[in-house]
Each structure stands twice: as C-alpha cells, then as structure tokens.
C-alpha cells in the first residue's frame, strides 16, 4: 500500500543499534514535513506536506491540506494584513479596531449605523435611498425621537464657498430643482429661494429674539406695494 508505515530493511538479522535506530520505521516515499495519521483502525499512513500557507482540515473523515477554509466558526481571531473577500460575507455584530476604507465601492442597504464619531465622505458623495416611496432621516441626540442638536453645514468649495443647497424633484421627477441656497464664507449668510411657495411662516419684529424682516424700499414702494410683493412671494397671506 502506498504511503503506509513499514519496517526499514536491515537484513536477516538485527543488531541492538539497528533495533533502536530512528529509521527503523518509515513511511513509503517519506519526505521532510510529512505527517503520519491513522488511515484505518489498523493502518498508519503518510500525509505528504502541503503547499506554503495551506491549512490542515478534515475531508471524508481523514486529514487533508487546503488553501480555503469553509463552514468554520472562529470564536476568537485576530485579522492582520489585507483581506480580499470573495462572494458574500455575512458578518455578526463586531467592533472595528481601525477605519473602513470603501474607496470606489458602495455600502448598500444598512438598516442602522450607530455610534459614529465622524463620517468622512469622498468628493461628490451622495447618501440616498434607492427604493421608491422610502425616506431618510437625520437627527441629533437620543431623546426619542426628536431630542438633541443636529448640525448641517457647508465647507470651502472652489466655486460654491460654504454653500448649502436644498433640492427636490420637479413635477416629472426627471430632475432636481434647487429650492434653497444658503451662502457661506460670510458673516451674514444669504438665503436664496427659488420656485417655492411659503406657507405657515410667522414673521416677527426686531424687538424680540427672532430677528426682523427688511421690507423693500425705493421709488414707488408704498405700503400696498410692499404687501403685494410679500404676498407674491408667499410670505404674507390676507386674513
């Protein structure tokens, strides 16, 4: 039988030193790194050394070398170096010890991403829902569901310095229309509205904490003219 454990050939008689020699029992075709295992209840056989980085696993009830590990549960493991995923990975809850770099790739359909100290996105990045009739919400704090503080701010941009733009689809849902643009890089920001009808807005005087409204002035700007312009802008309704 190939690879079986056998007695070494010493002739018709055996001396004491031959009996105690290391090479008295060897496997057929034995080589450095080979392993001996029980191939049956009465037979010891040789398993040839595997290739570099192969791991030993069980196949068909006997040990064998493999370059892939399948259907194995790792209770404690330390991952090092670069991992290249093939196929679909299903991960349980886990804690990151470093950053996640998804350059050039998408992170799709997360149900919830919690406890993020900072999320840095690449240039021209979008966060949106790919399903129709769905929604996305952003909020601050954990005083369910509306507590905390939420900040939304613009940063330096070569052509739109610090601008925040709010856009919604047009009637045909074929393009986005900018409804509000808030300027940046200035002590006083300018909010520019377009194609918007304002309802339910309460304008207050300069004598309280909510600020004031500056009425348009100039030739022909009577009180009636001003009220008409504010009505046209949707800022004032007649009771």
pLDDT at 178 over 70: yes
Two structure tokens written together for 100: 């996640």
What is the average per-residue pLDDT within 114-127? 69
pLDDT at 141 over 70: no
What is the average per-residue pLDDT within 112-131? 69
Two structure tokens written together for 33: 């790194």
What integer pLDDT is reported at residue 211 of this predicted model? 47
Pairing state between β 55-59 and 44-47: unpaired
Q: Which residues pair with 61 in a beta bridge?
A: none
pLDDT band at 132 (very low <50, low <70, confident <90, very high): low
Q: How many CA atoms lie within 13 A of 123 on its CB side?
A: 3
Query: What is the rounded average pLDDT for all residues in the chain?
Result: 75
Supply the pTM of this predicted model.
0.43
Chain segment 26-72, per-residue pLDDT in tens: 788 888 999 988 888 888 888 999 999 999 999 999 999 999 888 88
What integer pLDDT is reported at residue 21 of this predicted model? 59
* pLDDT > 90 fraction of the chain, expressed in percent and rounded: 12
Q: Report how far apart, in Å, the C-alpha atoms of 214 and of each of 126, 183, 191, 202, 230 are.
A: 36, 18, 13, 14, 11
pLDDT at 166 over 80: yes
What integer pLDDT is reported at residue 72 of this predicted model? 81
Two structure tokens written together for 134: 């769905």
Chain segment 96-111, per-residue pLDDT in tens: 777 777 777 777 777 7
What is the average per-residue pLDDT within 179-207? 77
51: left (phi over 0), alpha (psi -120 to 50) or beta: beta
Give the list of residues 6+ apart from residue 21 with CB closer than 8 angstroms, or none: 8
What integer pLDDT is reported at residue 209 of this predicted model? 46
Two structure tokens written together for 111: 């149900």
E strand or H helix that includes residue 63: strand 62-66
Cα–Cα distance for residue pair 177/167, rounded to 1 Å: 5
Whether the CB-CB separation of 54 and 48 falls below 8 Å is answered with no
Highest average pLDDT, of 6-15, 18-27, 113-122, 205-214, comes from 113-122
pLDDT band at 128 (very low <50, low <70, confident <90, very high): low
Cα–Cα distance for residue pair 69/79, rounded to 1 Å: 14
| Domain-wise residue ranges, the chain | 1-67, 199-239
Whether the CB-CB separation of 54 and 69 falls below 8 Å is answered with no
Q: How many CA atoms lie within 13 A of 46 on its CB side?
A: 18
E strand or H helix that includes residue 25: strand 25-27
């Amino acid at each position: 039988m190939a690879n079986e454990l056998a007695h070494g050939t010493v002739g018709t008689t055996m001396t004491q030193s031959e009996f105690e020699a290391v090479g008295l029992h060897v496997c057929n075709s034995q080589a450095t790194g080979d392993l001996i295992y029980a191939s049956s209840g009465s037979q010891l056989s040789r398993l040839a050394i595997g290739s570099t980085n192969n791991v030993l696993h069980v196949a068909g009830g006997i040990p064998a070398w493999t370059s892939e590990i399948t259907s194995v549960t790792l209770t404690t493991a330390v991952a090092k170096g670069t991992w290249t995923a093939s196929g679909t990975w299903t991960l349980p809850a886990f804690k990151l010890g470093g950053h996640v770099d998804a350059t050039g790739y998408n992170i799709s359909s997360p149900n919830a991403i919690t406890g993020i100290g900072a999320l840095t996105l690449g240039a021209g990045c979008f966060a949106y829902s790919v399903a129709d009739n769905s929604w996305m919400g952003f909020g601050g704090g954990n005083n369910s569901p509306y507590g905390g503080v939420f900040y939304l701010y613009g940063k330096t941009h070569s052509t739109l310095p610090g601008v925040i733009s709010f856009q919604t689809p047009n009637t045909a849902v074929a393009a986005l229309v900018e409804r509000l643009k808030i300027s940046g890089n200035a002590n006083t920001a300018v909010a520019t509205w377009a194609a918007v009808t304002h309802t339910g807005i309460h304008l207050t005087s300069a004598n309280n904490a909510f600020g004031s409204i500056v009425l348009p002035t100039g030739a022909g700007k009577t009180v009636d003219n001003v009220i008409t312009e504010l009505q046209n802008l949707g800022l004032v309704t007649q009771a």
